[in-house]
Structure 1
């Protein structure tokens, strides 16, 4: 299943019955919904099917603006209450049903940590602020190893509703300004055409709408290059797409009224070709929206214009006729419900299976999607759309009613996750005297108590010992167990030193690296406070310490801010001249760039660049520190231990893992280069793995918060062993000694 941000279509209002719903528009909806579903179901030829949401934005801007313009022509004003009541009737019933159903399904069929995140997502979705939520997650490096939310597709509903909070007000402003200039408050009404001309100040609206659309497009282009994760979910970066639809509704009639049949055919066919081309040519690597969104957006506008104001005697373009076919109209009718259901069905299925679904499972999921969509359209959408019960002001009540229903569901789910993830039973922690074997004294454990406890934890898992009841950190707080830092250099503009540890000490330690170095901060703080060192944590998430050019998060573009930070950090080491510099880093997530600017992702190619980068780094640091140490990168889990430990009935044996081969290869490479450069090395795998197995619980402590980052809690407990390994503290002073001491009889020299 493609892990592109899920694209839910904005729901668009059909015109009033007096204005028959265009069949080709329903067909265009069908094209959009089918391409997005195909892309999310990993149908390779249409990897760019995510552009379907852009098609929906254009349709929405077109139809909703038509309604507003007709209302102005009819009444000379815009009824905000009526507008938002209609939006509520169209949007909220189906969206609320799917939200509640998704929350319940997540509680039943996903892990507790995943379900807890879905509860939060549901609240954001009900507030039409899901795009804000997922934009923040998209730029959160620590969320990158987590799967997509089953409610992630609600971001587009949020974008549309945020746009429609503003667009009617802009139109009202244009009406008021035009009325003030003309010295009249209401238009004359001598016929529909004249009323429309008099009531709607077209020039004013075109200028205002054009300015907003152009500004949004410019912002979209800029922010897509600067921060693609934020741009993808941004209302400001997407508003121009709805603006194009609105402009088509406003100026389209004048443009196509005298257009020859051949011209309409070119518009219809060319528009469809543009949409299909985007689906076929665009990939996950395409910077989006930005310039790239112009192709599907303008293509959609062309299709809408081609079928606009067609008279009965005029020939219908073949593409328009195809879009209006009965099967396309049916899918178009169901499109809103199809989009709402398809993504949670696919995501929850994958979470339930614990792997990407195969062909048969995906096919069954799509059948279920269409069945659910058909039922939702028949029994939820249609009744609310056709009833006269929820007109103004009753229709507006749907907003708080929907919010309350989702909040009550989320509150119940929160209680359930706390109950299910709480301390149940009295299963003991793993100790050196009790780790599930018949004769612990006969087992030859290491002399180092920290290593011995890892060995005991592996043996406990293999013997089927139960998960300790009193885990630290709490299972439901595992995702949040991130090491705090005083200076968060994720802010590219931050350039200052923030001392820690014993700030009055003359001796100093510099920790240099990426998020894997940050994970060790609690250990270094304890070591420094005990041994009398001042600390500087020069760590920037995703920015590998090796002197290489890496790609920015979520893109394949070079990330110069990482190189700038590394240069600045190296300068700070030269200025501070610390007693000890510790380098801790992981390989780059998105590959590296060579001197020719080529993007490299293959292991051997990246390895060659990393080798040279480590050599340059060590050469730059060594002259400015009394000691230079490489802290070996920790083993990486192939899958998320947090999910395993909170899914169903957790088992120590099932959650224990073998280190991921690629990460281990890069860790070995860094150690090899360090030793060649006479840099000291502290090996870390002994504190995480033994005999090829890595337990996710050592004693009663959870070791990993995600596949690559250790918990802040376990890092703090490793302060003693790490301090000893660095020669900064004496043996027997580490926090793990207390746990190990409970079973000293099982320890062998």
Structure 2
């Protein structure tokens, strides 16, 4: 995968961590999810174009082990210390729906691992691609998927529907996957090797888009028009990062570290709430200090620990488990292709 995309994945994950730390009010950084969705659309189009064989199988093997493990961890903690959880409900139905990526709400509670709401969208996108590939073939399947999802989302926005599942899957946020995939095709045709002027324009638009995302996240509620408010700027931000691909040096320690964090971004996304909670509730509370300086130190230390834990989880759990699963399930696929 492109180093620029991996670095953007790292930034998106760190933005979500920053948002959940709530260092500023209203919190800023939630648009990292929208960047993730745009990147996911880009990567899925990249994968389908490269090798569409067993597409859904590869996606399932890629995301399930860590998600299932973290969900099991939440269930175990809930059974031991239910007072730690305000909005988690553990029932057989909730467990089944969480593990099958079926959206639900029970008394304000969604997936048992709350961050799983984004994976519900991811899995819906993956299944949609897999169905279209099976029906239309590799060359037309991805295009059919993008057209279908776009029409579906528009219809859901226009029609007076009440079904919660359809409303969830038809949310405009699904268009961020579509836009990311379209960015991939634009990149392959026109943006892979842009001229100096176009490269500068893309980088400038990416910077402006990032600043727009920060301001919009701080001052506006994105829910009614999330794709327009967060999705469109995220596409331009991703295009700006793609334009910087030639300037990324894997031998540069900072660049290499960011790429590594990009590799570990999925682990970071799923594990960071536990690290933040542990640091705030079990460590910092003991110092009984207040003030901007102390809160800034909390943030910096928490971000560093989140990064270290994420890298460790990626290297010593995620990668080995994926490798063993693939060896046991299907020796035709190499772990690097996931």
**Residue correspondence of structure 1 range 706-717 to structure 2 within 5 A:** none
What SS does structure 1 have at the residue aligned with 2:330? coil
**Residue correspondence of structure 1 range 58-69 to structure 2 within 5 A:** 58-69=38-49
Please tell me the root mean square deviation across aligned C-alpha atoms, in Å.
Answer: 4.1
**1:127 equivalenced with 2:86 (yes/no):** no
**1:25 equivalenced with 2:5 (yes/no):** yes
Aligned to 1:163: 125
Aligned to 1:211: 147
2:327 paired residue among 377, 382, 389: 389
The change in CA–CA distance for 1:298 and 1:113 in structure 2 (over 3 A counts) is closer
Structure 2 CA distance for aligned equivalents of residues 326 and 232 of structure 1 = 41
The change in CA–CA distance for 1:351 and 1:123 in structure 2 (over 3 A counts) is farther
Aligned to 2:72: 100
What SS does structure 1 have at the residue aligned with 2:179? helix
The change in CA–CA distance for 1:393 and 1:382 in structure 2 (over 3 A counts) is closer
Aligned to 1:300: 234
Q: What is the CA distance between 1:284 and its match in structure 2?
A: 8.0
1:50 paired residue among 13, 19, 30: 30
**Residue correspondence of structure 1 range 493-508 to structure 2 within 5 A:** none
Structure 1 CA distance for aligned equivalents of residues 272 and 166 of structure 2 = 20
**Residue correspondence of structure 1 range 309-328 to structure 2 within 5 A:** 316=246, 325-328=255-258
**Residue correspondence of structure 1 range 235-274 to structure 2 within 5 A:** 235-237=169-171, 238-256=173-191, 259-274=194-209
Q: What is the CA distance between 1:240 and its match in structure 2?
A: 1.5
Q: Deviations over 1:143-196 (max 9, x none)?
A: 4xx8x9872111111111122111122133233xxxxxxxxxxxxxxxxxxxxx
Aligned to 1:375: 312
**1:333 equivalenced with 2:263 (yes/no):** yes
Structure 2 CA distance for aligned equivalents of residues 217 and 285 of structure 1 = 22
What SS does structure 2 have at the residue aligned with 1:111? helix
Unpaired segments of 5 or more residues in structure 1?
1-20, 72-77, 176-198, 396-749
**1:90 equivalenced with 2:62 (yes/no):** yes
Structure 1 CA distance for aligned equivalents of residues 176 and 27 of structure 2 = 21
Determine if contact 1:268/1:306 at 8 Å carries over to the other structure.
Answer: yes
What SS does structure 2 have at the residue aligned with 1:49? coil
2:14 paired residue among 34, 48, 53: 34
- Between the two structures, name the one with larger relative contact order (CA 8 Å, sep ≥ 6): 2
What SS does structure 2 have at the residue aligned with 1:330? helix
Q: What is the CA distance between 1:33 and its match in structure 2?
A: 0.8
Structure 2 CA distance for aligned equivalents of residues 84 and 315 of structure 1 = 29
Q: Deviations over 1:493-539 (max 9, x none)?
A: xxxxxxxxxxxxxxxxxxxxxxxxxxxxxxxxxxxxxxxxxxxxxxx
Determine if contact 1:26/1:333 at 8 Å carries over to the other structure.
Answer: yes
Structure 1 CA distance for aligned equivalents of residues 305 and 167 of structure 2 = 28
Determine if contact 2:222/2:229 at 8 Å carries over to the other structure.
Answer: no
The change in CA–CA distance for 1:29 and 1:270 in structure 2 (over 3 A counts) is same
Determine if contact 1:118/1:149 at 8 Å carries over to the other structure.
Answer: no
Q: What is the CA distance between 1:126 and its match in structure 2?
A: 1.4
Structure 1 CA distance for aligned equivalents of residues 193 and 302 of structure 2 = 47
Structure 2 CA distance for aligned equivalents of residues 38 and 85 of structure 1 = 33
Structure 1 CA distance for aligned equivalents of residues 95 and 281 of structure 2 = 18
The number of equivalent residue pairs is 317
What TM-score, normalized to structure 2?
Answer: 0.76
What SS does structure 2 have at the residue aligned with 1:152? coil
What TM-score, normalized to structure 1?
Answer: 0.37
Structure 1 CA distance for aligned equivalents of residues 85 and 59 of structure 2 = 34
The change in CA–CA distance for 1:294 and 1:390 in structure 2 (over 3 A counts) is farther
Q: Deviations over 1:348-404 (max 9, x none)?
A: 777889x9x973766665555334322210112111344551443899xxxxxxxxx
The change in CA–CA distance for 1:52 and 1:317 in structure 2 (over 3 A counts) is same
The change in CA–CA distance for 1:300 and 1:282 in structure 2 (over 3 A counts) is closer
Q: What is the CA distance between 1:127 and its match in structure 2?
A: 1.5
Structure 2 CA distance for aligned equivalents of residues 283 and 375 of structure 1 = 32
Q: Deviations over 1:54-106 (max 9, x none)?
A: 111111111122111222xxxxxx43xx3233223321222122222222223
Greater fraction strand: 1
Structure 2 CA distance for aligned equivalents of residues 315 and 348 of structure 1 = 37
Structure 1 CA distance for aligned equivalents of residues 23 and 166 of structure 2 = 22
Structure 2 CA distance for aligned equivalents of residues 59 and 316 of structure 1 = 19
Q: What is the CA distance between 1:112 and its match in structure 2?
A: 8.6
Determine if contact 1:128/1:158 at 8 Å carries over to the other structure.
Answer: yes
Structure 1 CA distance for aligned equivalents of residues 120 and 189 of structure 2 = 32
Q: Deviations over 1:395-454 (max 9, x none)?
A: 9xxxxxxxxxxxxxxxxxxxxxxxxxxxxxxxxxxxxxxxxxxxxxxxxxxxxxxxxxxx
2:213 paired residue among 275, 278, 291: 278
Q: What is the CA distance between 1:226 and its match in structure 2?
A: 9.4
The change in CA–CA distance for 1:236 and 1:280 in structure 2 (over 3 A counts) is same
Name which one, 1 or 2, has greater alpha-carbon Rg: 1
**Residue correspondence of structure 1 range 355-374 to structure 2 within 5 A:** 359=295, 366=303, 368-374=305-311
Q: What is the CA distance between 1:259 and its match in structure 2?
A: 3.5
**Residue correspondence of structure 1 range 482-493 to structure 2 within 5 A:** none
Q: What is the CA distance between 1:263 and its match in structure 2?
A: 1.1
Unpaired segments of 5 or more residues in structure 2?
334-338
Q: What is the CA distance between 1:340 and its match in structure 2?
A: 0.4
Greater fraction helix: 2
